[in-house]
């Protein structure tokens, strides 16, 4: 379901601000369990180079995820709240679908600067999420190669 096409922008943003911390917390717990179990089953001193790489992929996924949870998500939520306040002052943000924000930002330098900062933080968060996912995908490839059919 494409919620952003069916919910007012501010309502959608508030929903996202509740979902993402829960998502990153859940993925973080799963990564921690994966790191602990893989590390336990493949002790560093006796593990092969491939197994050490796999532990590295799991640790990097965990690190990217924690960065999202504790750095980017709080920054994004705070910037979203600030933008919502400015948007309410300009009577925008309650529309469904395509935003009036871009048009208003052309004549409101404060909103334009907020949009730029929000976009940068959101982009870094997306990149961290992609890197975490990629690390887990590489580890999944490794695990799939262990299956003997």
Q: Is the pLDDT of residue 2 over 80?
A: no
The answer to whether 111 and 89 are in contact (CB under 8 A) is: no
Burial letters 84-115, b for 16+ CB under 10 A, else e = bebbeeeebbeeeeebebeebbeebeebeebb
3 inside domain: no
Q: Encoding tokens for residue 116?
A: 């730029």
- Given a contact cutoff of 8 angstroms between Cβ atoms, the answer to whether 5 and 13 are in contact is no
For residue 131, being part of any structural domain is answered with yes
Q: Check residue 125 and give its pLDDT.
A: 96
Number of domains into which the chain is organized? 1
Residue 147, domain member (yes or no): no
Q: Which helix (H) or strand (E) holds 107?
A: none
Residue 56 lies in a domain: yes
Question: What is the pTM (predicted TM-score) of this model?
Answer: 0.87
Residue 94 lies in a domain: yes
Question: Domain span at residue 86?
Answer: 9-140
Which pLDDT value is given to residue 139? 97
Give Cβ neighbours of residue 128 (< 8 Å, ≥ 6 apart): 64, 65, 67, 68, 72
At 84, list the tokens.
């919502």
Mean pLDDT on 121-128: 96
As a whole number of angstroms, the distance between CA 13 and CA 95 comes to 12
Confidence of residue 76 (pLDDT cuts 50, 70, 90): very high
On whether residue 98 sits in a domain, the answer given is yes
Greatest distance between any 2 Cα atoms in the chain: 63
Confidence of residue 20 (pLDDT cuts 50, 70, 90): very high
Long-range contacts of 43-46 (CB under 8 A, 24+ apart): none
> Which range, of 44-48, 111-115, 125-129, averages the lowest pLDDT?
111-115
pLDDT by residue (tens digit) across 80-114?
999 999 888 888 878 876 677 778 888 889 989 99
Q: What is the pLDDT, as a whole number, of residue 131? A: 98
- The verdict on residue 148 lying in a domain is no
- For 24-37, the pLDDT digits (tens) are 999 999 999 999 99
Mean pLDDT of the chain: 91
Residue 81: inside a domain = yes
């Amino acid at each position: 379901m494409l919620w952003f096409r069916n919910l007012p922008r501010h309502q959608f943003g508030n929903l996202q601000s509740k979902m993402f911390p829960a998502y990153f917390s859940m993925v973080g717990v799963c990564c921690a369990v994966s790191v602990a179990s893989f590390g336990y089953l493949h002790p560093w001193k006796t593990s092969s180079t491939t197994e050490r790489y796999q532990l590295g992929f799991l640790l990097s996924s965990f690190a990217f995820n924690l960065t999202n949870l504790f750095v980017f998500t709080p920054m994004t939520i705070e910037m979203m709240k600030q933008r919502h306040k400015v948007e309410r002052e300009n009577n925008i943000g309650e529309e469904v679908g395509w935003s009036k924000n871009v048009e208003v930002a052309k004549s409101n330098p404060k909103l334009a600067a907020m949009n730029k900062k929000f976009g940068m933080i959101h982009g870094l968060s997306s990149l961290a999420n992609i890197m975490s996912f990629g690390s887990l995908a590489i580890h999944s490839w490794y695990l799939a190669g262990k299956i003997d059919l």
